């Protein structure tokens, strides 16, 4: 929760300039402790549907120990679903029309399975754009992950992503380049984020249309980016929500695709993820897979347990910190929407007063 500037101590002004949340005494007295309602548009395919729920729920867990957070998962009718996933959705998911009527404080958009060369050709495109356009007018902030980031950039800015020659796949070091922004305030200057994508939009293209890069990697480009107003849209090209073993499960899936002749090459190691010992185990496994494939035998048992116990999660703490910052600022601004005295001087087009 924010600090309260109960006197004229200069430190409060200094903290404000650094992006910290500081309230006046009058503002604190008028704080409305209320629940936050966060929508989760889960567009992931059936196999990853529930895992994605858990990943984002974990990120939001503990983001704020005072405010109660209600998470409302929903999906798009234009996404093809199997029987089990459809039953899960019907039983546990909200309907977008109902959420639109009730209102949301914040919204998270997940990735999706892509089958077309252009995102606008995807069957879910129109439905996704409807949700995004509504949220841009009625939701305090929209957090976009991976594919959702690229879709919003194309829909609202006319920016099409560039296909990479090789998949960006691994855990990469990033650095904060806008430490004054509330999203990355009090976050380590350098930290890691998992990525799994075939496409990218470079930093110069984003900033040419007014967006602001908060976190950058010399190796793979912009990570956290915000819309021109500083907060309405928060974009991530990576997957800070990933579990420790998420990339391992992707690797295992790609090995299976190679074995079934669904890909020509054996998948490369995930960058900056496997230990030297794990790589040795996986090289031995590759030899077994190639031999079984050549002799038309069954796929050998994947040594998942041996690899999992050697995986290190080096991104979770930062991911939680950034999500806590995001939720904290959403809470602050939703109170602002109630016309409280401490927000009377704030420009509604630039609620953070960061980018004049």
Digit-coded pLDDT (tens) for 106-139: 999 999 989 888 999 999 999 999 999 999 999 9
Tell the residue number behind the tokens 């997940």, with chain if given: 110
Domain ranges of the chain: 32-243+313-343, 246-308
Determine which one of 37, 72, 212, 239 is catalytic: 239
Q: How far is CA 304 from CA 54, 194, 260, 278, 310, in A?
A: 20, 19, 19, 10, 10
**Average pLDDT of the segment spanning 91-117:** 93
| pTM of this structure | 0.87
Task: Copy the structure tokens of residue 134.
Answer: 């509504």
pLDDT score of 287: 98
Q: Is the pLDDT of residue 339 over 50?
A: no
Digit-coded pLDDT (tens) for 153-180: 999 999 999 999 999 999 999 999 998 8
pLDDT score of 332: 83
Determine which one of 53, 122, 241, 250 is catalytic: 241
Q: Which of 11-25, 220-234, 250-264 has the lowest mean pLDDT?
A: 11-25
pLDDT score of 356: 37
Beta-bridge partner residues of 236: 145, 224
Q: Give the Cβ contact number of residue 251 at 10 Å.
A: 22
The question of whether 239 is a catalytic residue gets the answer yes
From the options 3.40.50.880, 3.40.50.1820, 3.40.1190.20, 1.20.1600.10, give the CATH code of 32-243+313-343.
Answer: 3.40.50.880
| Contact between residue 302 and residue 267 where contact means Cβ atoms under 8 Å apart | no
pLDDT score of 1: 56
Determine which one of 146, 168, 174, 181 is catalytic: 146
Give the DSSP H/E element, type plus range, for residue 192: strand 190-200
The DSSP-derived string for 280-328 is HHHHHHHHHHHHHHHTT-PPPPP-HHHHHTT----SHHHHHHHHHHHHH
**Mean pLDDT for the chain overall:** 89
**Average pLDDT of the segment spanning 192-202:** 96
Q: Is the pLDDT of residue 38 over 80?
A: yes
**Average pLDDT of the segment spanning 309-334:** 92
Q: Predicted confidence band at 64 (pLDDT cuts at 50, 70, 90)?
A: low
The question of whether 150 is a catalytic residue gets the answer no
The question of whether 144 is a catalytic residue gets the answer no
């Amino acid at each position: 929760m924010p600090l309260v500037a109960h006197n004229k101590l200069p430190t409060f002004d200094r903290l404000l300039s650094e992006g910290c949340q500081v309230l006046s005494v009058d503002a604190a007295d008028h704080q409305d402790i209320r629940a936050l309602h966060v929508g989760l548009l889960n567009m992931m395919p059936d196999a990853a549907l529930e895992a994605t729920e858990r990943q984002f729920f974990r990120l939001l867990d503990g983001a704020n120990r005072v405010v109660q957070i209600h998470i409302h998962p929903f999906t798009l009718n234009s996404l093809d679903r199997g029987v089990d996933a459809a039953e899960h959705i019907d039983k546990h998911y909200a309907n977008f029309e109902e959420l639109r009527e009730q209102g949301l404080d914040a919204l998270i958009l997940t990735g999706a399975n892509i089958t077309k060369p252009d995102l606008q050709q995807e069957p879910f495109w129109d439905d996704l754009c409807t949700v995004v356009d509504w949220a841009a007018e009625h939701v305090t902030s929209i957090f976009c992950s991976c594919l959702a980031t690229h879709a919003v950039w194309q829909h609202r800015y006319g920016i099409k992503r560039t296909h990479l020659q090789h998949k960006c796949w691994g855990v990469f070091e990033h650095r904060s380049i806008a430490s004054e922004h509330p999203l990355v305030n009090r976050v380590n200057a350098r930290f890691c984020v998992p990525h799994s994508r075939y496409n990218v939009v470079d930093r110069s293209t984003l900033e040419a249309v007014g967006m602001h890069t908060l976190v950058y990697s010399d190796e793979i480009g912009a990570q956290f980016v915000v819309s021109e107003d500083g907060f309405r849209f928060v974009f991530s090209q990576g997957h800070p929500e990933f579990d420790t073993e998420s990339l391992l499960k992707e690797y295992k899936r790609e090995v299976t695709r190679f074995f079934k002749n669904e890909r020509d090459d054996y998948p490369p190691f995930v960058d900056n993820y496997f230990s030297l010992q794990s790589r040795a185990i996986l090289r031995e496994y590759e030899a077994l897979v190639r031999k079984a494939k050549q002799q038309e035998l069954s796929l050998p048992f994947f040594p998942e347990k041996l690899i999992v116990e050697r995986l290190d999660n080096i991104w979770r703490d930062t991911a939680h910190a950034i999500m806590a910052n995001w939720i904290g600022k959403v809470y602050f601004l939703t109170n602002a929407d109630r016309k409280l005295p401490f927000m009377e001087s704030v420009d509604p087009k630039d609620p953070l007063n960061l980018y004049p």
